[in-house]
Structure 1
Amino acid sequence: MHNGLKLLIIFLIIPLFAAGCTDKDAKGHAGTAPPPPLVKAITVTKADVPLDVEYAAQVDGSREVEVRAQVSGILLERTYREGSFVQEGDILFRIDPNTYHAALEQARGALQQQEANLELARLYRDRTLSIYKQGAVSTHERDDAEAKYEAALATVRTARGSVETAELNLGYTEVRAPISGITSRETRSEGSLITLDASGSLLTTVTRLDPVYVNFSVPGTEVLKRKRQLADGQISAPKDGPVVRLRLSDGNLYKQIGHINFMDRHEDPQTGAVRVRAEVPNPDGMILPGSFARAVMQGMTLKDAVVIPQRAVLFTKNATIVYILDETNVAQPRHVVIGETIGDGFQILSGLSGGERIISDGVIKVRPGVTVTVSKTEVAEAGQGSAQ
């Protein structure tokens, strides 16, 4: 009985003690203010900022030539390895030459016959002229001899042309590379009958890989915008225009530098874009025709621009803001207007003029009027990368 009373007292005291401790802890926490948000800050500056602009692009060979047969016949041989590099003038295919050998011999025989006729006509003309001077023949006979000679001479010229044509046709039985470049697959296999129609004469294509052409489109609105910026002095550009580099599929920039060699003077009514082409050296053949890349236009400069990190900007439902810090590190929101995207930064068109101190990291923890703890203050630098 005595032990049971002790246990009852213990069970009654423990809950009361626990409740008392909880109440004290709650009062203690309620009396302690949360620490100020820890942030990083930057000092806004104005500077000339490189403006690199990227566009989706596709690569083409600078020349792509169809290799077509110029004579018909049986395709005897393909002499190149498909996909290999060939030099201009290399033999790619051989067509059966027998018919063209025979045609050449026939043309040469006809030429010899006509040359013999020409010699007879020359002798007859010379003899007629000689006796005409003696008054032995009439003017009509003299003119007739002269005409026969001229006719024989014309026939010889025609025969010589036939020989040249036959020689050309025989030469065409060896189909040669029209340019230096990379060959494609054959379109007609050995043993096929080659004809001279559009589908029957195509044998392969040869593509020049150095340099390559990079084709891309610039929105017409952006073309107008850049012209206005240049006119207003907001941006500058080299006299010979911006350079073009390629960002490859792995994200790296190709080392060779190209230049724009064509810009359309008309805006495509369907896409609203202007076609542009750049020529980029490709000495190692790394860039293949048909591949997709990003064309990076470099050389333009934004003059006296304010650029801040993208992470310093908050996008709300009704506004775009940054947090300004005063001398006591009190944060206040300020509305800004964004311009170009420069790498990982935003150009600020209005709202910041330079010299302000703004929160660059930790803005999500900040509320208007809150005092913050600044761990580090840096000078704002232009974002690196390309405008999108």
Structure 2
Amino acid sequence: MNTSLSLNFNSFKRFTAVKIVALGLLTAALASCGQPQQAQVAPPAPTLPVAEVQAGNATTYQEYPASIEGTVNVEVRPQVSGTLDKVFVDEGAFVHAGEPIFKINESPYRSALNNAVAALHAAEAAQANAQIEVDKLTPLVENKVVSDYQLKTAKASYRVATANIESAKANVSTAQINLGYTLIKAPVNGYIGRLEKKQGSLVGPTDVAALTELSDVHDVHVYFSLGEKDFVAFKEQYPGETIKDKLSKLPAVSLLLADGTEYAKQGKIDIIDGQFDKTTGAITVRATFSNPQGLLRSGNTGKIRLSLDHKDALIVPESATVDMQDKVFVFTVGDSSKVKKQAITILGKNGDNYLVKDGVKVGDQIVLSGIDKLQEGMVIHPEKQPASDKAAVVAKN
């Protein structure tokens, strides 16, 4: 009896313990259900400056490497051989046309002239003797004292003597010319280049190097090249039906010197080469600049800057763009302040702004900064910028 009661009591304790554990688990579950779970909070939309795309007048510039030459660029070479006796000028000196600059030893050429003159006198004497013979035989033939054969022979000798005189005169003229070549004069006004030969040097017409180079740089020609693509764009951008017509309407061009400064005077494009260079695939263009102070010299280099005016061009700050895979993008702001990455076509550049051909239109909202962290479809809090703000899109006049 006591054993049965003991067993029942132990069973009751186990049952009670199970109930307590179950009740605890149920209570914990109910408590968990009663408390709301903490939801993940999305980060706030970033505040970014935006502005409307506007249109305005702007000017773009294109620069091309250029070489400078004087309008007259002449190599001075000897036309006779000999020893260089005198050099009358120094490198860099300005000379006028006809001014002596070199003197070659004239002794052999003066001797040649004297010989030629002597030969001329001998020819003239021979002609006189032939004339005497003709005069003597003429009456004798008329009186049939001698045959006309002798007279014909005398007349032939006279003609030979006359021809010899002409030949001797030509030799004298050649000798005089050669003697004159010993004094080398400036063919044009200009500046003396480097003197390749010094006094005492042996010079001649077959020398590889010229004695010097003479450049007239009161006006200079500046040569630059356009590739086929640039040449097509050049023809399309500027008004006119023909190349000649376009050249007459082209605006003045600027010259950037080697140190980056702009030459004080502007030039005019006046010639475009007749054909493309097969090696480089480019065509040569020439602009002429006035150079009254002689600041520009042959051999200088620089850059030609061509300007192009754009009316009602769409203007977008360069800082509002991102380059990706050879394309340029902006982020436009649409409905619900969502951004969209939009590719644009660049027409040119003006200062810190891009001129846009297509991809956006007037009135479109674009993000001005912070675009490196934006993604397609992202929501932002747009902060409109006034037109006077430096970061805003402004029209350039």
Distance 1:310 1:61 in 2: 40
Structure 2 partner of 1:338: 345
Shift of 1:292: 2.2
Asked if residue 95 in structure 1 is aligned to residue 104 in structure 2, the reply is yes
Task: Give the alignment of 1:307-318 within 5 angstroms.
Answer: 307-315=315-323
Distance 1:96 1:274 in 2: 46
2:172 alignment partner, SS class: helix
Distance 1:229 1:245 in 2: 18
Distance 1:225 1:303 in 2: 17
Distance 1:78 1:247, change over 3 A: same
Structure 2 partner of 1:41: 51
Equivalent pair of 2:344/2:357 in contact (CA under 8 Å): yes
Structure 2 partner of 1:128: 137
Shift of 1:257: 0.9
Asked if residue 377 in structure 1 is aligned to residue 377 in structure 2, the reply is no
Structure 1 partner of 2:77: 68
Asked if residue 277 in structure 1 is aligned to residue 291 in structure 2, the reply is no
Equivalent pair of 2:238/2:246 in contact (CA under 8 Å): no
Structure 1 partner of 2:29: none
Distance 1:316 1:151, change over 3 A: closer
Structure 1 partner of 2:257: 248
Determine which structure has more spread, i.e. the larger CA radius of gyration.
2
TM-score by length of 1: 0.75
Distance 2:355 2:139 in 1: 99
TM-score by length of 2: 0.73
Structure 2 partner of 1:187: 196
Task: Give the alignment of 1:1-388 within 5 angstroms.
Answer: 36-37=47-48, 39=49, 41-45=51-55, 47=57, 49-199=58-208, 202-227=210-235, 238=246, 240=248, 242=250, 243-254=252-263, 255-269=265-279, 271-298=280-307, 300-302=308-310, 305-315=313-323, 320-324=328-332, 330=337, 332-344=339-351, 345-360=353-368, 368-378=378-388, 380-382=394-396
**What RMSD over aligned residues (CA atoms) do the two structures have, in Å?**
3.5
Distance 1:302 1:203, change over 3 A: same
Distance 1:134 1:361, change over 3 A: farther
Q: What 5-or-longer segments of structure 1 have no aligned partner?
A: 1-29, 384-388
Number of residue-to-residue matches in the alignment: 343
Instruction: Determine what percentage of the aligned residue pairs are the same residue.
Output: 27
Shift of 1:113: 1.9
Distance 1:340 1:364, change over 3 A: same
Distance 1:141 1:134 in 2: 14
Distance 2:120 2:380 in 1: 106
Distance 1:188 1:324 in 2: 70
Distance 1:267 1:115, change over 3 A: closer
**For each residue in 1:257-287, what CA deviation from the matched residue of structure 2 results, as whole angstroms up to 9, or x when unmatched?**
1324232512434x44333333333222212
Distance 1:58 1:196 in 2: 29
